[in-house]
Amino acid sequence: MQVKAAVLYEVGKAAPYADSKPLQVEQVELAAPGPGEVLVEVVSAGLCHSDLSVINGSMYPQLSNPMILGHEASGVVREVGSGVTDLKVDDHVVFSFVPMCGHCDNCAVGRPVLCKNGSVASARGTLLSGARRFSTTSGQPISYFTATSAFSQFTVVSQESLVAIDREVPLDKAALLGCALITGVGAVVNTARVEAGESVVVFGLGGVGLSAIMGAKLAGASPIIAVDMLPSKFELARRLGADHTIDASKDDPVAAIRELTRGGAAYAFDVVGNTNVLAQAFSAIRPGGKAIAVGIPPSDKFLSLRAAAMVVQEKVIQGCFMGSAVPRRDIARLAHLYMTGKLPLEELLSPSITLEEINTGFDRLAQGTAIRQLIRFKE
């Protein structure tokens, strides 16, 4: 079948993207689902900094094939391939941007976001099976991004990349459950395991950082400190649970955090993906504290720290990928928290866009003037 999608042919084009148009909206060919695969009609897909990192070349310096981005999405199952047991036609689903095979060493011990086979598939730009189902109208294969490629009216993915959700959950907003929410809230409750009364600081107030603020409030953290270089984000951070805000463009955030927490925070989350910010997070924690790296830095960057502090002060720096989640468990929990009013994810939503506006949308994301823009494929 032919579907309309946003295709990336070249990384590193100069901003503004509205002019350079790194993403070409065009008709592409999509093959039917193979064994264990599912055809999904995409209802909503979010613009995330991970997608932007591919566009600007910091994640992949070059592409071997064209690629369709998009990993934070929701949709409706329209067809299932042979051997699909977990899903049926008309199911409402949220995408998981790590395909989880269920039988590798990491899946077996309950750490599916570190799935070995899923990591290989993502690196190769394929599904778990090694297949690619997208191609250009001239027959050139198109690579997957995170085995999902949701910037398309329809996509074919492995059943392991989907989580069925209750039909009562608004499908247009449910996309956020699979990336921003599961990563930000998960970083707090799964990775750090923050307990009530412990101090938390979040560096970076994009969709994931603000989700971490919500997670800290859910956990009962106190105080909750939000750090960013754009003061325009502070009002929303306060509404979502921040007790204090720090403008890092004017003030030394480490000094300010130490003063507010009387010596350092128990937990500091770098949601920027910048090694300098991660070093600040490490400096801002108290002895015995944890700095959690959530944002993904460019692959060529290295981190420099005072190593002695890790020994004599027992400070910890820990990575966090996809909120250390078990998606089939955590997406359902997050959906319940949203439906019961405990997780106001709609606060993250900037005005929605059409697929044709996607390049302008990434300009807004890069400039920090939007939090989470959703492409609405279907009203």
HSE-up of residue 52 (Cα within 13 Å, Cβ side): 26
Rg (CA), the chain: 20
Is the CB of residue 178 less than 8 Å from the CB of residue 48?
no
Is pLDDT of 91 > 70?
yes
The CATH number for 267's domain is 3.40.50.720
Nearest to 153 by CA among 167, 170, 134, 139: 134
How many structural domains comprise the chain? 2
Query: What pLDDT shows up at residue 61?
Result: 82
For the chain, what's the residue count?
379
Give a yes or no: residue 147 inside a domain: yes
74 in the same domain as 40: yes
Residues 200 and 272 in one domain: yes
- Torsion, Cα 23 25 26 30, to 10 degrees, reads 80
Tell me: do 84 and 229 sit in the same domain. Answer: no
| Residue 326 within a domain | no
Q: What percent of the chain has pLDDT over 70?
A: 99
Residues 77, 126: one domain? yes
One domain, residues 283 and 314: yes
Write the pLDDT tens digit of every residue in 126-173.
999 999 999 999 999 999 999 999 999 999 999 999 999 999 999 989
pTM over 0.85: yes
Asked whether the CA dihedral 161, 164, 165, 168 is positive or negative, the reply is positive
Detail the DSSP E strand segments found in 273-320: 285-293, 316-319
CATH of the domain at 138: 3.90.180.10
Dihedral pair phi/psi, residue 19, rounded to 5°: -95, -45
Determine the average pLDDT of the residues in 52-68. Answer: 91
How many whole angstroms from its chain centre is CA 6?
19
Whether the Cβ atoms of residue 371 and residue 364 lie closer than 8 Å to each other: no
First to last CA, the chain: 22
- Tell me the pLDDT of the chain averaged across its residues: 96
Range of the domain at 268: 184-321
